[in-house]
């Protein structure tokens, strides 16, 4: 908006003409003395345009700039709040690790149906399922044990095949900002870096029941019901270690980084890992 030569009235300096302006400053000649002001903040309470049409146009500009200012402040506040939450989560995790209060079974294995596999690997998140009974029936399960130290193991089996043929098809660390006890929708998103999808050939060599034991039925490959199970942090480390050893050269570096990160987050010493002892390994 060009306001050069427009007449104005200042409540202290009287009548003057605008002689120069920029996006943030306006210069006004009051007789032989020039004064500079912040634009458009000075208009309204301190400075008034004589031309009514120009005043209306300026009012719209001021309104727009005020909206932009509020938007910037809102964005800055949201960013500040996000940083605060990240700090709280980081502090919480550091406290857990320092006090050795990490749950020994804070990993999740998910049962993926064939029709949802592509969506799982496209969106990189799984649903924890719904509560089956009680006053909260129908609401999403809250994965309370999951924290930044947790991984989600993705498994599947072909329809009609026995449960013992269940294969490991992928895995991911949970999102850096995820805390299970705060999850209301049951969706568990993946970490921005640590996520792996196995090929069909790799999955064929990674049977879930080589690693896992159902404590209620230790001699059986029994899943029963539900979309997920919690399982031992050590077992997840065993699975990741085997993936590193079976990966090709191109994928091995990423698998190794995943394994190293997981061990660090779960206070696991890689050299002290026991051998897998799942149901199928005991037969």
Comparing CA positions, the residue from 174, 179, 180, 186 lying closest to residue 136 is 186
Query: pLDDT exceeding 70 applies to what percent of the chain?
Result: 95
Strand order in the sheet with 7-10: 33-38, 25-30, 14-21, 7-10, 47-49
The pLDDT-based confidence of 94 (bands split at 50, 70, 90) is low
Q: Whose structure tokens read 């193991």?
A: 153
Q: Residues 192, 193, 196, CA angle at the centre, nearest 5°?
A: 115
| 114 φ, ψ (degrees, to nearest 5) | -55, -40
In this model, does residue 93 exceed pLDDT 80?
A: no
Task: Identify the pLDDT of residue 197.
Answer: 94
Condensed to tens digits (0 to 9), the pLDDT of residues 190-224 reads 999 999 999 999 999 999 999 999 888 888 998 87
Contacts of 114 (CB under 8 A, 6+ apart): 156, 158, 159
pTM given for the model: 0.66
What mean pLDDT is reported for the chain?
89
Condensed to tens digits (0 to 9), the pLDDT of residues 31-61 reads 989 999 988 888 877 889 999 888 888 888 8
Task: Identify the pLDDT of residue 101.
Answer: 66
Condensed to tens digits (0 to 9), the pLDDT of residues 125-181 reads 999 988 888 888 989 999 999 988 999 999 999 888 999 999 999 999 999 888 888
Asked whether the beta carbons of 146 and 105 are under 8 A apart, the reply is no
Task: Identify the pLDDT of residue 234.
Answer: 96
């Amino acid at each position: 908006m060009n306001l050069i030569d427009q007449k104005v009235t200042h409540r202290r300096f009287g009548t003057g003409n605008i002689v120069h302006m920029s996006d943030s400053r306006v210069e006004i000649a009051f007789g032989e003395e020039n004064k500079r002001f912040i634009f458009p903040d000075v208009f309204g309470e301190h400075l008034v345009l004589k031309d009514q049409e120009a005043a209306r146009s300026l009012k719209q500009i001021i309104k727009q700039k005020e909206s932009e200012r509020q938007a910037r402040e809102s964005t800055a506040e949201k960013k500040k709040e996000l940083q605060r939450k990240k700090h709280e989560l980081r502090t919480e995790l550091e406290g857990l690790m320092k006090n050795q209060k990490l749950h020994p079974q804070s990993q999740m294995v998910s049962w993926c149906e064939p029709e949802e596999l592509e969506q799982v690997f496209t969106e990189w998140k799984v649903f924890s399922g719904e509560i089956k009974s009680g006053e909260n029936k129908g609401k999403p399960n809250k994965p309370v044990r999951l924290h930044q130290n947790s991984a989600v193991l993705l498994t599947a089996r072909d329809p009609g095949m026995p449960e013992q043929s269940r294969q490991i098809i992928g895995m991911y660390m949970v999102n850096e900002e995820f805390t299970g006890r705060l999850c209301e929708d049951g969706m568990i998103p993946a970490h921005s870096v640590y996520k792996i999808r196995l090929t069909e050939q790799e999955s064929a060599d990674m049977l879930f029941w080589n690693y896992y034991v159902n404590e209620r039925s230790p001699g059986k490959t029994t899943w029963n019901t539900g979309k997920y199970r919690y399982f031992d942090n050590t077992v997840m480390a065993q699975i990741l270690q085997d993936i590193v050893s079976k990966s090709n050269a191109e994928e091995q570096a990423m698998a190794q980084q995943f394994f190293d990160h997981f061990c660090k987050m779960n206070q696991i010493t890689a050299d002290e890992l026991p051998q897998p002892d799942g149901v199928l390994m005991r037969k």
